[in-house]
Amino acid sequence: MSQIEFALKVFAALAVVLAATTACGRLVQRVGQPRVVGEMVAGVLLGPALLGAVAPGAQAALFPADVKNVLYVLSTIGLTFYMFLVGSSLDHGTTGGRQLRQAGVLAASGIIPAFTLGAGAAALFFSTLSPEGSNRWEFMLFVGGALSITAFPMLARILQENGMANTPVGGLTLVAAAIDDAVAWVVLALIIAVGSAGGLLDAVGTVVGAAVFAVLMLTVGRRLLAKLGERVERAGTMSRDVVALVLFLVLAAGWFTDYIGIFSVFGGFVTGLAMPSSAVLRRELHARLSDFNSILLLPVFFAFTGLNTSAAGFGSGGALWLPLLVITAAAVVGKYAGCAAVVRLQGHGWRHASAVGGLMNARGLMILIFINIGLAHGLVTPELFAILVVVAVVTTATAMPIYRASLRERGGVVREEVVG
């Protein structure tokens, strides 16, 4: 195959992915769902679950192995920059001590029950869903970590669109979601470091390398980048050279964390955390990086996820229905019930307790990143991968209905309800 023929195949695949994710995203928005739900569903429909079953020849022609490799690289770049934008959007030092303690309690209420129930479900189905030769404890940690995640970026967008980002409950939920995700990424980093290392010393080297990188970026790196933020603030915009520098830092950080055996998204996220809290810088980063990344590169990730998602075990008499129901129940009960109970105990009304529980229960894109990393490192089977993709779609799709039903009042007005 010539380079021109290969390029034509890649362009055709990207065009199909863009059209499918855009169309599905618009459709779900009409029924009040976040666009990401439609994009996730579109990715699944392009894989063996639908297109591969209805038109296997067309699916194989659109997404042959070499094209899938290109999609993997593009999606990895997209995820690295996505996590960079997530990290750079977090407010540093703007949360008071009392609110931070409350957020920590809320985060724990979502992490501990979901992790415990997820690990228990993993132990229950270890013999049927774990990769051959896998370690039981690593498998339990992986599933528990996956169910502990909250879709922080989607949650932030929902709260901002509904004017709740700056309310006490909204701010509390955002900080708790960020803590949830940080803990889940640490768990995954440790599992990968131990699982992929050739021995204990290699695993220690990977963990130490990641820790040194994070410490340097968040201390020395942050101080150096603060000067960059001051320069951007004075100019009111980011010059071409500044944009090039930021892109270089993200790519270099992604390369380094991939090289030491973690994953490029960790490098992107930590680099984002190191960026200064400059309003101009954040605006410029979002304006210059967000659209291309969210419109093209992230949909490529959804498509790549869908291409790895098989529905074979969900047919009539399929063996995956029982584990799907058990793992989904563990995900929903662990997050929704745990978070709602703690919000109620912190003095808020049941309406907001339920709304927070519903939002914290959404896994969104974050769990898909988590399980794709696990698949790349042999921590998850195709069957469990398919189950967790369904969990991602279900928990994300139910977040807004629970949120709206919880806060809907007789006159159709939503207001913050606080007891005491």
Residue 417 lies in a domain: no
Per-residue pLDDT band for 300 (boundaries 50, 70, 90) equals: very high
Question: What is the maximal distance between C-alpha atoms in the chain?
Answer: 71
Residue 413 lies in a domain: no
Residue 152 lies in a domain: yes
Q: Give the pLDDT of residue 196.
A: 61
Task: Tell me which of 318 and 33 has the higher pLDDT.
Answer: 33
pLDDT tens-digit profile of 337-351? 999 998 888 777 888
CA distance 277 to 275: 7
The mean pLDDT value for 100-123 works out to: 88
Task: Tell me which of 118 and 418 has the higher pLDDT.
Answer: 118
Residue 275 lies in a domain: yes
pLDDT tens-digit profile of 161-183? 666 666 666 777 777 877 777 77
Q: Give the pLDDT of residue 418.
A: 33
Residue 103 lies in a domain: yes
| CATH code, domain with 71 | 1.20.1530.20
358 pLDDT higher than 70: yes
417 pLDDT higher than 50: no
Residue 213 lies in a domain: yes
Cβ(207)–Cβ(264) below 8 Å: no
Q: Give the pLDDT of residue 194.
A: 66
Task: Tell me which of 185 and 208 has the higher pLDDT.
Answer: 208
For the chain, percent of residues with pLDDT exceeding 70: 87
Per-residue pLDDT band for 100 (boundaries 50, 70, 90) equals: low
Q: Give the pLDDT of residue 169.
A: 67
Cβ(365)–Cβ(405) below 8 Å: no
CA distance 173 to 327: 24
204 pLDDT higher than 80: no
Which residue reads 């967000």 in tokens?
Answer: 290
Residue 412 lies in a domain: no
Residue 75 lies in a domain: yes
Q: Give the pLDDT of residue 197.
A: 56
pLDDT tens-digit profile of 145-161? 899 888 777 777 666 66
For the chain, percent of residues with pLDDT exceeding 90: 30
Its domain, for residue 143, covers: 3-407
Q: Which residues 6+ apart lie within 8 Å of 150 measured at CB?
A: 110, 176, 177, 180, 181, 335, 359, 360, 361, 362, 363, 366
pLDDT tens-digit profile of 242-298? 999 999 999 999 999 888 877 788 888 889 889 998 888 888 888 888 888 888 888
Q: Could you give the 3-state DSSP secondary structure of residue 50?
A: coil
Total tally of structural domains belonging to the chain: 1
Q: In terms of C-beta density within 10 A (0-12 exposed, 13-18 middle, 19 or more buried), how is residue 219 classed?
A: exposed
Q: Give the pLDDT of residue 114.
A: 92
Work out whether the CA dihedral 27, 32, 36, 38 comes out positive or negative: negative
Per-residue pLDDT band for 387 (boundaries 50, 70, 90) equals: very high
Task: Tell me which of 277 and 191 has the higher pLDDT.
Answer: 277
Q: Give the pLDDT of residue 94.
A: 47
Task: Tell me which of 412 and 32 has the higher pLDDT.
Answer: 32
CA distance 352 to 344: 8
